[in-house]
Amino acid sequence: MRIGMLGCGNIGRFLLQSLNQEGSKEKIVAIHSRNYEKTTKIAESYGAKSYASLESFLEADLDLVVEVATIEVVHASALTVLEKRLPLIVSSIGAFSERKFLQAVQEKCTNCETEVYIPSGAVGGLDLIQSANVLGGLESVQLMTRKPAHSLQGAENIVKEKVVFEGTAHEAIMLYPRNMNVAIAISLAGIGAERTTVQLIADPSIEKNIHTITARGDFGEFSLEVNNEAMPGNPKTSYLAALSVLSSVKEESRRIKIL
């Protein structure tokens, strides 16, 4: 499988290290990012090629495109990628907090007969939420996220844990589009951003992000807690988020898929 990658930051390098090794069926062959010179050096060290423009990148005979850049990159490139009938894995899912953009992506997928895949990211349980909601029997979904205080703007100097937000996932996404990817993923899998409730806690005593998801419905109820370790050498990125992108890439080439 020939993979094109948008972005070449921490998760991008992790994917290069994981995929571009001898014997791998999936290889990143093309990279496009805003820093062409820096990306060129990185790409060459892993046997890939860097492209200066999105247009030339998309002419590289690709089977799949993976975005590991920013929300802005998703907004600027997703529709063009889908227009080429290429499946797209999106890691910066905060891009879908804008309803009009989400609708445009959905319509483009239908018209061009292709797909967008959203990795589970920093949490699990999305398959349970999706299954519980398939016949409309999901009644409520709550997310409680506890983050290190120093990682949240405006909460850096608090001395004890504090609830900094409580409301709907839609409101949380509007206020924290880069910090609430989990809320977006849960909303897309379940009952929507207006009905999913979120509590965000800033805690100066912790160094990990802790997510607790609770869902109730006709199926019963479940509660799931995930304590996320950071990527080695990069405290701002969840290791599980990077692994979920890698898993999504691997899943594309499997003959037997767990859905």
CB 190 within 8 A of CB 172: no
Element (H, E) at 184: helix 181-189
* Region of residue 206 (left: phi > 0; alpha: psi -120 to 50; beta: else): beta
CB 188 within 8 A of CB 118: yes
> Which residues does 89 contact at the CB level (< 8 Å), separation at least 6?
64, 65, 66, 67, 116, 117, 118, 119, 245, 248, 249, 252
The structure tokens listed for 69 are 């850049």
Euclidean distance between the first and final Cα of the chain, in Å? 20
CB 205 within 8 A of CB 161: yes
DSSP state of 177: T
- Give phi and psi for 27, each to the nearest 5: -135, 140
**Whether residue 170 lies in the annotated active site:** no
**Catalytic residue list:** 211
